Amino acid sequence: MLRRTVFLMLLAAAPAWAQTLSQTLPNGMKVIVKEDRRAPVAVSQLWYKVGSVDEQQGKTGLSHALEHMMFKGTPAVPSGEFSRRVSALGGQNNAYTNRSETVYFENVAAKNLPEVLKMEADRMANLNFSDKEFANEMSVIREERRQRTEDNPFGKLWEHIYLNSYQTPALRAPVIGYMNDLHALKADDLRQWYRQWYAPNNAVLVVVGDVDARQTLKTAERLFGAIPAKPLPPRNTVSEAAETRPASAQTESAVTRQPVLALSYRVPKLTRIDDKMPYALDVLSDVLGGNASSRFDKNLVRGRQAALDIGVNYDMFSREMPLFSIIAMPAGGTGEQELLEMIRSEIADIARNGISRTELERVRTQAAASEIYAKDSMSAQASLMGRLEARGFSYGDEAELRRRLQTVTAADVQAAARLLTPERSSVVVVQPAQVQPEYVKKP
């Protein structure tokens, strides 16, 4: 009886700490606030729906470069002051850019949230950086590219995955931009990019934490509501034919002793809630490479010891045509082509014979557990809501999306495996660079 009473008390208490409210301001900005009163902190995430797929040839890297410049000040908050003030409030802040969006986030004591939102609203409308600051920051970005792409085998691998998988320039370009473009960009290019895309009608604000949802909506409206909407430029085409001839490419890296390889397939994204294939592809990715009990790990890493590591990447919420990518590093004694055939054989086995009930139940259980763990993080909750809103869905779709993932059948997964055909595929291999022996002069 006591346990039942406690359970009913928890049910009754749930709305008090988990209320979620949203509002679209007259200028088009979406604001979502979720109450979570387990700790006196709040997470703020401001999502701008612009990333590398929105850029043009010769101007790659604009979105990422502008992310850096957003910390270079406004008349009210001079360069460097944004992060210093957040730190002085006991908080943390950062930002990131990906192919689809640019996101600015802060984690602060809930009582200091209005001050953080005030600064975010200020730099949405009043960014002001000098040509000198631009030149200095571009040097930093070029060094970042050297470290993360040119001197990193996996960074180089991912750059060549997109180059090899697509023909459309906007889909091929790396988020950080090509090095030639990073030398050619001008400060006015970034100022124009800012004026084009940084508008309330191209942004979503998500707040999760120990806040009053209604009051926080009012605060957001007071701070952001007067910023005028802007006409947005036309978007690039972000899809192309899924089936073409198989493609392959090879490059090298001086900082790896083992080859790394990627087998990628052009596959569908989720465009409507009731699409079936994207859910099946998501489950297939977990069956193949979700964890230590997945097929690749069990059969190729621990079983045949043919690979040191294998992972699977698929994002069904992608704005552009997504890739279903298998990333692997062969073990010593296993050639990359040999490992590729083993990977293809695992996929073909599912396409022919399907998966077991045990495998399907394991993936469902892991998905349910991940949902529970995600709710323990305010940042994870905010990120999922922002991602759904930025990618054309609603934060309110979360429960239905999870429900549909749980209803994927073994036959659906088998159909997804059959979709991974050679005509959709591309292969990239990064080989260890051959180091030339130093010339030693004989005495």
Please name every residue paired with 370 in a beta bridge, in sequence order, or none if there are none.
none
Select from 183, 74, 184, 176 the least CA-distant residue to 125.
74
Other beta carbons less than 10 A from residue 243's beta carbon? 10
Would you call 67 a catalytic residue per the annotation? Answer: yes
Is residue 176 within 8 A of residue 146, CB to CB? The reply is no
**Which H/E stretch holds residue 178?**
none
Which residues of 178-317 form beta strands (DSSP E)? 203-209, 247-253, 260-266, 307-313
321: region left, alpha or beta (phi > 0 left; psi from -120 to 50 alpha): beta
Residue 175 to residue 182: CA distance in whole angstroms:
12
Residue 146 to residue 143: CA distance in whole angstroms:
5
Cα 347 to its chain centre, rounded Å, is: 25
| Catalytic site residue from 35, 55, 67, 336 | 67
Is residue 342 within 8 A of residue 326, CB to CB? The reply is no
Is residue 201 within 8 A of residue 229, CB to CB? The reply is yes
Q: Which two tokens stand for residue 428?
A: 């990239």
Catalytic positions are: 67
